[in-house]
Chains A and B, each alone.
Chain A
Amino acid sequence: NAGVTQTPKFQVLKTGQSMTLQCAQDMNHNSMYWYRQDPGMGLRLIYYSASEGTTDKGEVPNGYNVSRLNKREFSLRLESAAPSQTSVYFCASSEALPTGPGLGEQYFGPGTRLTVT
């Protein structure tokens, strides 16, 4: 049971290049999330997917697109990378979007460290 896996672990891009960050979970969770964490800062939500086939914007969606490919996989795409997108990207999943009480327990992947030069 690998939990949440992310690829790649590290990536260096030049300004204007595009790339897709991959995320997969094997816990049969319905909801998945993408966060970014800048040095010395907390995590900020980019996009989330409440269930297969749905996606919604988080706090900082500009410059990103997402695809919920199936229940297991949730990818994040940078169409034209900018230095401001240099960050660590975390994917997370939870059993369900907590539409009931509470924020629910999220399980995080190990992160992708992206540098844009």
Chain B
Amino acid sequence: LAKTTQPISMDSYEGQEVNITCSHNNIATNDYITWYQQFPSQGPRFIIQGYKTKVTNEVASLFIPADRKSSTLSLPRVSLSDTAVYYCLVGDPLSGGYQKVTFGTGTKLQVIP
């Protein structure tokens, strides 16, 4: 069971780039890394997913180094509406790990005007 570690909270000013790092030292060969965003009183929303190197979509980028023991979610030019909790998930359904994947406590990002 791959366990993840993230900072509990982060503050950032509007317009800045925010990088949230997740550690997953015991990531397995087939594990993917997935990030979700959750606003208060709402269910989580998928942001991005990757296996190695770099993945980019219209919302964020995900950087994964060669050893895959960590990953960094990058949010460009954050706005107040990006204030939320961000979760990093690691797991491999093929090894039966999916049903035991948990969201952890996440990183609470506060964007300051």
Query: Quick check: A45 and B105 within 8 Å, CB to CB?
Result: no
Query: Quick check: B105 and A103 within 8 Å, CB to CB?
Result: no
A23-77 interface with B by 8 A CB criterion: 35, 37, 40-45, 48, 56-59
Query: Quick check: A41 and B105 within 8 Å, CB to CB?
Result: yes
Query: Quick check: A45 and B89 within 8 Å, CB to CB?
Result: no
Give Cα distance in the complex from A75 to B49, angstroms: 28
Cβ of B32: which chain A residues have Cβ within 8 Å of it? 101-103
Query: Quick check: A58 and B105 within 8 Å, CB to CB?
Result: no
**Which one of A43, A44, A57, A58 contacts B44 once the chains associate, using CB atoms below 8 Å?**
A43
Tally of chain B residues near chain A (CB < 8 A): 25
Cβ of A79: which chain B residues have Cβ within 8 Å of it? none
Cβ of B100: which chain A residues have Cβ within 8 Å of it? 45, 58-59
Give the tally of cross-chain contacts (CB within 8 A): 71
* Minimum CB–CB distance for A115 against chain B, Å: 15
Query: Quick check: A109 and B43 within 8 Å, CB to CB?
Result: yes
**Which one of A41, A103, A111 contacts B34 once the chains associate, using CB atoms below 8 Å?**
A103
A1, CB-defined interface residue at 8 Å: no
* Chain B residues at the A interface, C-beta cutoff of 8 Å: 30, 32, 34, 41-46, 49, 51, 87, 89, 91, 93-94, 98-106
Q: List 12 A-B contacts (CB under 8 A).
A: A41-B105, A42-B104, A42-B106, A44-B102, A58-B99, A90-B43, A90-B44, A101-B51, A106-B44, A108-B44, A110-B41, A111-B41
